[in-house]
Chain A
Amino acid sequence: MIELDNVRKVYGDGTVAVDDVSLEVPEGETVTLVGPSGCGKTTTMTMVNRLTEITEGDVRIDGESIQDTDVIDLRRNIGYVIQEIGLFEHMTIAENISIVPDLRGWDEERKQERVEELLELIQLPQDVKTQYPANLSGGQRQRVGVARAMAAEPDIILMDEPFGALDPITRDELQDEFLDIQQKLDTTIMFVTHDIDEALKMGDRVAVLRDGELVQYDAPKDLLGSPKNEFVANFIGEDRVLKQLSAVTVREVMNAPQVGEGAGENPLSPDDSLKVALQRIFQQGDPLPVVEDGEVVGQVSEADIQAVTDRRTSEVLQ
Chain B
Amino acid sequence: MQRPLKRIRLLAALSLAAVLGLGSASTALAVQPGGITDEAHEMHDLFLVMLYFSIALFVIIASALLYAIIRFRRKDDELPKQVHGSNRIEILWTGLPIIIVIILFTLSLITLFDVEKKAKQDALTVEVTGFQYQWQFVYDLNDLGVGEFEGEGTITIIGTPANEPELVLPVNEIVEFTLQSTDVIHSFYVRDFLYKLDLIPGRINTFSVTPRETGVFRAQCAELCGVNHALMRFTVRIVEREEFDEWIKQTAKHQSADQEDEKTVRANEREQ
**A pairs with B:** no
| B residues apposed to A, CB below 8 Å | none
| A residues apposed to B, CB below 8 Å | none
